[in-house]
Structure 1
Amino acid sequence: MHALIVVAHPDQGSLTHSVARHLAEGIAQPGEGHSFEIADLSAEGFDPGFKLADIAAHRRETPIPSDVAAEQARIDRADALVLVYPVYWWLMPGLLKGWIDRVFSNGWAYDDSQGGKIIKNLGHLNIHLVGIGGADAGTYTRRGYDVAMKTQIDHGIFDYCGAPVATSKLLLGLETAEVAAHLEAARRIGRDLFNTSSSQVTQAA
């Protein structure tokens, strides 16, 4: 089986990229036969800006832009989509949100042309979310940030498209011991990626 790992961080030496690499190592265990592709949105220069061409495509007036079609084709080749990202201001980075804004388009991720009824097109695609934050778990819980992020991302984006969220994990803390634990957790997520059913969600740390 094949996974597309999408990373949104400009620094190749960041913990975000290290987590993505360890997760990929877990997927590619010898003897399992699984494969992965890493989509580094920053290095690839993906344009997250939602422009007039995207609006026209949303309205079914024009074909989707070619860069969006290329991203959709990458997802179509995958059995699982993994998003690895730093938490900025209690949200995913703008680059990743813009990727979702443009790529998860009307007519591909969902279809709203049936008289107000939304057709969810991505029920076949398992989603794995790995967010990386510097604050501790108590801060997320006290302020309700963990619930807010799950509402916005897990439900607001992926449930709308029918894509089951199989992993929803926050790796929190940047101390040396915490980083080591994060990397091991990432490798474990990768190792278990295709053994995780959509009904068995890995909760936030």
Structure 2
Amino acid sequence: MHALIVVAHPESGSLSHGIAAAVGQGIAGSGGCHDFEIADLAAEGFDPRFTDADLAVHRKQAAPPADVAFEQARIDRADTLVLVYPVYWWSMPALMKGWIDRVFANGWAFDFGLQTGLTKKLRHLRVHLVAVAGADMRTYARHGYFGAMKTQIEHGIFDYCGATVVRSEILFESETQSPQAHLDAARAIGRKVSASMPCEQAKAA
């Protein structure tokens, strides 16, 4: 099993980066058939802006730009996609949202036409979401943020493409709790990611 872990945070020493690395440690420590790759969108300089070139891809008038094709190839090599991101304004950062806007393009993640309707093209992809939140669980429950994020991200993005969201975790109180608690939780998430696709299943796939 190969997992692609995508992290979006401008600081390499951030808790988000530490959590992404810890998820990878959990994956790697679960058995010989499991490996992972970390895509650090900020360090790699990914441009999240949806431009005329991306619009042409959406309209099936042009091939994807090189940076988008590169990201699509990384996802194609993966059995599992893990997104690690801090919660900004009750959603993911613009860098990660722009990555999704550009990479999960018409013709690759889904196929839509006025005459043909919608074809979901990522039914093989398993997704794990790891959000890093400053607020506590009560705040999310009181204001309905759980449902809002589920509708926006799990249903609005991944279900539309046919991908299966296996797990959606929110690590709360990131600014007040000990970082070690979150890193331990992230390693446990990595082990769960591995357990969701045993080696025998990976060999048969």
Aligned pairs, how many? 196
Q: Distance in 2 between matches of 1:61 and 1:176?
A: 49
The amino acid across from 2:120 in the alignment is K
Q: List gaps (5 residues or longer) in structure 1.
A: 198-205
Matches within 5 A, 1:23-62: 23-29=23-29, 31-62=31-62
Query: In the TM superposition, what is the alpha-carbon distance from 1:116 to its structure 2 partner?
Result: 4.7
Deviates more, 1:54-63 or 1:187-196: 187-196
Q: Distance in 2 between matches of 1:162 and 1:71?
A: 18
Q: Give yes or no for the alignment of 1:139 onto 2:139.
A: yes
Q: Which residue of 2 aligns with 1:110?
A: 110
The percentage of counterpart residues that share the same residue type is 61
The amino acid across from 1:91 in the alignment is S
What are the superposed Cα offsets for residues 69-90 of structure 1, whole Å, 9 maximum, x if unpaired? 0000000000000000000111
Name the SS of the counterpart of 2:92 in structure 1: coil
Name the SS of the counterpart of 1:62 in structure 2: coil
Deviates more, 1:181-190 or 1:84-93: 181-190
Q: Which residue of 1 aligns with 2:164?
A: 164
TM-score scaled to structure 1, two decimals?
A: 0.92
Name the SS of the counterpart of 2:78 in structure 1: coil
Matches within 5 A, 1:1-205: 1-29=1-29, 31-113=31-113, 115-174=115-174, 175-177=176-178, 179-196=179-196
Q: Distance in 1 between matches of 2:117 and 2:79?
A: 26
Q: List gaps (5 residues or longer) in structure 2.
A: 198-205
The amino acid across from 1:161 in the alignment is C
Q: Which residue of 1 aligns with 2:203?
A: none
What are the superposed Cα offsets for residues 14-55 of structure 1, whole Å, 9 maximum, x if unpaired? 110010010000011164321111000000000000000000
Q: Distance in 2 between matches of 1:80 and 1:66?
A: 23
Query: In the TM superposition, what is the alpha-carbon distance from 1:158 to its structure 2 partner?
Result: 0.1
Q: Distance in 2 between matches of 1:154 and 1:147?
A: 10
Deviates more, 1:168-177 or 1:83-92: 168-177
The amino acid across from 1:104 in the alignment is F
The amino acid across from 2:135 in the alignment is A
TM-score scaled to structure 2, two decimals?
A: 0.92
Q: Distance in 1 between matches of 2:130 and 2:29?
A: 20
